[in-house]
Amino acid sequence: MIKKAFKIALEYIKRLDKVLILLCVSASVFGIILLYSMYVSDFASVSAGYYKTQITALCIGVAAMLAVAAINYRFISKIWFIYAPVALILTLLLFTSLGQGVDGADDIGWLKVGSFTIQPSELLKDAFIMTFATHLYKVGKNMNRLPHFILLCVHGMIPVGLISLQGDDGTALVFLFIFVVMLIVAGLSWKYILLGCAAVPAAVYFAWNYLMQPHHKARFLVLFDAEMQQNEIQGIWYQQYWGRIALGSGKLTGVGLFADKGDYVYTSFIHNDFIYAFIGNALGFVGCIGTIAVLMMICMKIYMNSVQAKDLLGKYICIGVFSMVMIHAVLNIGMVLAVLPVIGIPLPFISAGGTSTVSLYVAMGLVLSVYGHRERKYHLFYTEKE
């Protein structure tokens, strides 16, 4: 019995995508070192709680990842009726008195659970990727028939609409991107793609004139108006102004980690949404390029796993996770470079955030499950019939 269990464990370890695990954990450890550096240097009011929470989230996340990786993703797909309603209910609770905001954020996106806070939108991302992948897999080649296409759009717009109503437009954009990429990869007809492209100008006009608030518009306008930038240095432009200074002040190799407090340039949320600015400040251009390289390798590895998946369900799951990590990285770095507006998106694996870290590792667990169950003969919990 023990020998058999040991053999199963060895087979499980053998089938893990160790390169992907190493890349993800390395990125997370790097983020913890950055937070610890801020704490030791007494910089940006980063308390010990930030890096300790991140260490805890990493441990929980890795454990969750390995547990999910052991389960056949096809079985996870079949039990969508368990985790999808839970994620949806937690998100809906944000519209009650249980929903909380944080200083400096526009949205009410956190739930207080005892002494902890969780961000349901992060959990909803994993649930959405699984349920939408399942939906696409089930409709198959019928996805371009109008009734099925409409139902797929309704499925995609539910999380987009809920998160947008909650006030978190950045995360709503992430859901929209995941939805579109998964649709296209699944074989969306060119007639729908062209129709969508044609509708973009009208949608932008409607959103700009009837949906967006003045402060939302200002975040876009300030990117292109030098005079407005000068007038808003203490306002809307403050975060990106100091973020760019921090990013550039490190020059080639940066001022170093654990430097004196006075060597660093402060901007708000530098431990979270603007941690890439601290990377530039502390580690310079070399650190910034290295960070991008690691994130690109993670995305490439996930994409390669989608190519190697044994079925379309596995492919869609990997593509969903790939698009989530990629859009997070692009939006976050774009904010710091001031080529995109500030929309409160963390840098994957690196920014402080317990819920986002755990949910990212759960998503990685789904990718590992696809990778590890490429052959029908191997299943940790049950044997699939040929």
154-187 pLDDT per residue, tens: 999 999 999 998 888 889 999 999 999 999 999 9
Beta-carbon contacts of 8 under 8 Å, excluding residues fewer than 6 positions away, are 380
pLDDT digits (tens, 9 = 90+) for 52-93: 999 999 999 999 999 999 999 999 999 999 999 999 999 998
- The sign of the CA dihedral 288, 296, 11, 361 is positive
Residue with tokens 């490429």: 374
Q: Which pLDDT does position 88 carry in this prediction?
A: 94
Rounded distance, CA 14 to CA 195, Å?
46
Rounded distance, CA 91 to CA 384, Å?
35
Rounded distance, CA 286 to CA 149, Å?
45
Q: Which pLDDT does position 5 carry in this prediction?
A: 78
**Residue that wins the pLDDT comparison between 280 and 115:** 280
DSSP letters, 113-150, are ETTEEE-HHHHHHHHHHHHHHHHHHHHGGGGGSHHHHH
Element holding 224 (H helix, E strand) = none
Q: Which pLDDT does position 35 carry in this prediction?
A: 96
User: Quick count: other Cβ atoms within 10 Å of Cβ 212?
Assistant: 16
Confidence of residue 214 (pLDDT cuts 50, 70, 90): confident
**pLDDT at residue 381 tops 60:** no
Mean pLDDT over the full length of the chain? 90
